[in-house]
Amino acid sequence: MTWKFTAPLLLGILAANVAPAQDMAPFGTDKDAAYADKVWQAMTDQNLAGDGAIRSFPYDGLEPHGLMLETFYTKATIDGHEGDLVIKRNYGPEGVSADQVLMAPGDHLGAITVMFKREDGYDPDNQNWFWAKYLPDGSLDKNPKDMRLAGRVAKGMDAGCIACHTAAPGDDYLYTTDHIAK
């Protein structure tokens, strides 16, 4: 038997079987955003985000995070699971100094990027890390395709959080340390 498809029929079949890119992406879902809200709340509860957040001395950074950074390592409990929490405050613009950040951190904070070690089984391919990028007000940042940056950010892609951090030395996906997330 030979099948004949007209162009409109073929397009209809293809359209019915192809979900929008955002629906297929491994990140940016409503569930990811809700979990990211819980991570943000845990950070504010520990005074690591929001008004009155504790400060550290900023150091020189690199893109994509920022040219001045502050990094904090701690633990948080979310939905009954305790995991490692890495918080990186990203400051700019190019040429900003540590003194400028210290004098007016709110004027220079561009984003807060986070890694949280979720429960076993969340994403075993990538050591169960949950990724999020927040704007200074705690809302989620979005990529150029308007996808929220939370969850398994850019999993399977050539660029993005996971692609970059899989290249980190050691086995913890962190460039700054090889000992906290074992």
The answer as to whether 15 is a domain residue is: no
Given a cut of 70, whether residue 176 has pLDDT beyond it is yes
The answer as to whether 179 is a domain residue is: no
Query: Against a cut of 0.85, is the pTM above it?
Result: no
What's the domain range around 128? 26-165
**E strands of 56-151, at which residues?**
59-60, 68-78, 81-91, 109-117, 129-134, 150-151
Look at residue 24 in the predicted model and tell me its pLDDT: 57
The answer as to whether 43 is a domain residue is: yes
The answer as to whether 172 is a domain residue is: no
Look at residue 31 in the predicted model and tell me its pLDDT: 96
Q: Do residues 97 and 57 lie in contact, with contact meaning Cβ atoms separated by under 8 Å?
A: no
pLDDT category at 147 given cuts 50, 70, 90 is: very high
> What's the token pair of residue 135?
């704007």
